[in-house]
Structure 1
């Protein structure tokens, strides 16, 4: 079913896809959520279950230490304790090409996505 005529006009699949994509992109925190979900999916496929669990706990712990104003699209200064978590996790992830070097970005995006979700609920 390539088109619908319920409203008296024909809507192509491409139009529906474009409108859907525009709606997603205008959703508060969408890019942060997308990055977080993609990284988590890759990590789950690459890491042992215990290492994946450790990664998720480290993300949670580091994100709690960040200020609410972190912008994942910019270079941010992290608190010392969060930096220690970052260094520990980067050392563990260094042998995984798809995961190495991105822990900070993961934490910042997960943090931003959580803040966006909280704002939507208020």
Structure 2
């Protein structure tokens, strides 16, 4: 995989995750509800669904190994970026535990997605007639 294309894919996915988190945080701040647990679960659901669906599409289109590389790098970058976005609206600092948590929060559902997508990619490739 071309390094510039890899970097572009990682940046696109990272920025998309950060924008989604930012939108959810803004929606929560402007909400009249005091239910912090429900808001946190909604943000969790949105991130997990985004990572799974996008990694599934990547796995089907690119295969297992390129998708693995893209999502490991994306999870690392977003794992650092998400706590920074969350700390912009508060006085709390970013902890190492937060970075690891958010990195794994993206990587685990993405891994399920690109494993399934990679299997579909391999099946589709095997069923194509040889020229």
Same fold flag (TM > 0.5): no
RCO higher in 1 or 2 (8 Å CA, sep ≥ 6)? 2
TM interval, shorter chain, is 0.3 to 0.5
TM-score w.r.t. length of structure 1: 0.33
Relative to its length, the structure with more helix (as a share) is 2
